[in-house]
Amino acid sequence: MERLPIDEQLPEIAARVAGAGALVLVAEPGAGKTTRVPRALLGEDAADSGEVLVLEPRRLAARLAARRVAAELGEEPGGLVGWQVRFEDVGSARTRLRFVTEGILVRRLVDDPLLRGVSTVVLDEFHERHLTGDLALALLGRLRRTRRPDLRLVVTSATLEAEPVARFLEAPLLAVPGRAHPVEIEYAERGSLEPSSSPSEVAGRVAAAVARELAGADGGGEAGDVLVFLAGAAEIRRALEACRAAVERLRSDLGAWRDEPVYAYGFGDLTGVEWALLEALSARTDVIVSIPYEPGRAAFAVSERTVSDLTRLARGDVVELPRPTDRPVPRALAHVERFLFAEPPAERPDLDGSVRFLEGAGQRGTAELVGKELQDILLRGVPAERVGVVCDAPERWRSVLSTALDPLGIPYEIEHPRRLGETPLGRALLALLRFEWLGGGRAELFSFLRSPYSGLERRSVDYVEGRLRGRAIAEPARVEGETERLRGAPVPALVDLRSAAASTDAVRSLVRTMVRNAWGLESPPVEHDAREDARAAQAVTQVLDELDAVLVASGGVAREELVSALERTRVRPTSAGERGRVAVVDYARARTRTFDVVFLLTEGGPGTSTETIAVYVYRLAFQYFRTSQSAALAYIILFIVIVLTNLYLYFVNRRAREA
């Protein structure tokens, strides 16, 4: 391992932190304060010490520092060393050294003001002052002075005015010198560029210089990377286009990436060179591209083609972050965006026949109308995957669509996460666990036994259940005893559950047996129901793995907690655009999908245009709690009904007398 200037000072640093409980460390860049100091504070026996949190000002710095420290310790990230940034948590129950960003640390202080389990906090690169960093320092300083005097606090920086921070923390100050890195200046040939040279000439010179450096490295010259400084974004783009040969060289030597994930942030548009590099990287490793894009906003229209190409390259694996509801686009800004970026309005196409309105009585009536239209469309030859049903909350429409579409034989798939108990495999699994561990009755046991996952013949199960129902046997012990007596053998699933040493191992083995009973092992199942069971089994396995980690840390997981965790487990939906099935999606997923035929389920509207007076009175009273106004409207409606009824009876009686 490479020696760094700060290595000689590590014993003194650890002694000062142990004695005073706090330290302000000023070390020059390259001294090793980010990677070596947290390791020294972790202690010799890292498994028994408290957690060390290292605050980094940027997400990229947190990831790189954690990877470097883990590599120096000979471990993989996520073991003893990990990191946590927004939307990413790489760690485990073993993690004792965790690199975090400012927002993560402040949120942890808010959730747990005592920072239980944390022994040391290191505020790295504190000269990059931010509001959240100052807030974290203030909260940690107050915590040390009040309820956690044992909490150790270290502030490190290279250019910080350290005296005020040391006085605030009442901590000693230590300065560590760095080491010099000599720089040799070499000039390219002169006379070929003038201040008036065109941008293309500048880009050509940059490409030639890069090519010479790369060729020199291959020929035994100075090895390393090439860092190019240019005046602005336009110059950088032109130089990238001119450096195509350098990019092609990188494409042919992608082993340098060591198959580690690649993160690309801030894409607005992709040049040809950038796209070639992205395709080459995605063929070798996981590539995550972050791009600012909001469909429907004129300012982001320039990125529409880029998003479409990236979606195709990702094969539909797109995660769209929800738009912040507390920060809507101001109307003035939207008007300016439309004026600057929107295309001039073209002549409106003739929509006659393109849009139809279907009006049904409630959800059931609407779903039946949609089912008839879907049946006609599919019979005319339209592929099912090119038809989309868009609604606000697909979960609320699940039972209605099942009632309306299943009898018509229309294949569809609701692309929305489901709870485990809403899948066939999950229902059977939870029913058996409730019977065995939560004292369930006859209904829970036979809900599992009637399913294909039990491996028992349905006819014999129905016979046993009928005998028990006829004799009104409902107690769990008697239900199990009579079931064994009538079958002549115990229930295999219950035997497997009781024979396992740990509850998580029992459930894991039970799930494998259930899948084997339903689909066999001779050939891989390819049916839609089999794929749904596979996703449910995968979700159960993931939860069990997470609970095993908790089991190692806490010493045990109660069976009730295990059942509760499985009940809250969500099963991921099918992949976007499954062939041969109509997609039922919500508004968020519909924004990134393309269909030939779209059914939009609105439950009335727009607004309250289809709301009846009776429903309006009901909502006033029981939804908005304006009982006086609803009562007044009810009396007015009653008065109008009485008047109209009397008028009707008067004219009917008069016509009868005249006849």
Segment 248-300, tens digit of pLDDT: 554 554 444 555 555 555 555 555 656 666 766 665 566 777 777 777 677 77
To the nearest 10°, report the CA torsion of 565, 570, 571, 576.
Answer: -160
Question: What's the average model confidence in pLDDT over 159-167?
Answer: 80
Structure-token match 């079958």, residue found: 487
**Whether pLDDT at 641 is above 90:** yes
- Of 268 and 3, the structure prediction assigns the larger pLDDT to 3
- The per-residue pLDDT for 114 is 87
- The per-residue pLDDT for 637 is 92
Of 24-28, 34-38, 546-550, which gets the smallest average pLDDT? 546-550
d(C-alpha 330, C-alpha 628), whole Å: 37
Of 109-113, 208-212, 242-246, 400-404, which gets the smallest average pLDDT? 242-246
- The per-residue pLDDT for 45 is 46
Question: What's the average model confidence in pLDDT over 395-403?
Answer: 83
Length of the chain: 659
Could you give the percent of the chain with pLDDT greater than 90?
A: 6
d(C-alpha 596, C-alpha 353), whole Å: 14
- Of 208 and 513, the structure prediction assigns the larger pLDDT to 513
- The per-residue pLDDT for 639 is 94
Output the furthest CA–CA distance in the chain (Å, rounded). Answer: 119
Closest C-alpha among 71, 65, 72, 52 to residue 7: 72
Question: What's the average model confidence in pLDDT over 6-34?
Answer: 85
Of 30-39, 221-230, 329-338, 464-473, which gets the smallest average pLDDT? 221-230
pLDDT digits over 450-484, tens only?
A: 888 888 888 888 888 888 888 888 888 888 888 88
pLDDT digits over 481-511, tens only?
A: 888 888 888 888 888 888 888 888 889 889 9
d(C-alpha 614, C-alpha 250), whole Å: 70
**442 falls in which pLDDT band (50, 70, 90)?**
confident
- Of 3 and 151, the structure prediction assigns the larger pLDDT to 151
What is the layout of strands, in order, in the sheet containing 97-101?
Answer: 88-90, 81-85, 97-101, 51-56, 118-123, 152-157, 22-27, 173-176
- The per-residue pLDDT for 232 is 67
- The per-residue pLDDT for 316 is 62
Mean pLDDT estimate for the chain: 78
d(C-alpha 419, C-alpha 435), whole Å: 20
DSSP code, position 256: G
Would you say 428 and 453 are in contact if contact means Cβ atoms under 8 Å apart? Answer: yes
pLDDT digits over 560-592, tens only?
A: 888 888 988 888 776 656 678 888 888 877 877
**1 falls in which pLDDT band (50, 70, 90)?**
low
**634 falls in which pLDDT band (50, 70, 90)?**
very high
Helices (H), 520-586: 528-554, 559-568
Q: Is 607 left (phi over 0), alpha (psi -120 to 50) or beta?
A: left
Of 311-325, 383-397, 524-538, 607-621, which gets the smallest average pLDDT? 311-325
d(C-alpha 148, C-alpha 22), whole Å: 12
Would you say 187 and 39 are in contact if contact means Cβ atoms under 8 Å apart? Answer: no
Would you say 519 and 533 are in contact if contact means Cβ atoms under 8 Å apart? Answer: yes
Instruction: Report residue 583 as tokens.
Output: 């997609």
Distances 194 to 200, 205, 210, 230, 231 between C-alpha atoms, Å:
13, 12, 20, 16, 15
Could you give the percent of the chain with pLDDT greater than 70?
A: 75
**647 falls in which pLDDT band (50, 70, 90)?**
very high
What are the backbone dihedrals phi and psi of residue 83, each rounded to the nearest 5 degrees, phi first? -145, 160
Helices (H), 6-53: 10-20, 37-42
Question: What's the average model confidence in pLDDT over 130-142?
Answer: 83
Spell out the residues 6+ positions from residue 156 whose beta carbon is closer than 8 angstroms to its own.
24, 25, 26, 27, 33, 34, 37, 122, 123, 124, 125, 126
**Does residue 195 have a cis bond before it (omega within 30 degrees)?**
no
**635 falls in which pLDDT band (50, 70, 90)?**
very high
CATH of domain 5-176: 3.40.50.300
- Of 276 and 516, the structure prediction assigns the larger pLDDT to 516
- The per-residue pLDDT for 632 is 92
CATH of domain 362-416+577-601: 3.40.50.300
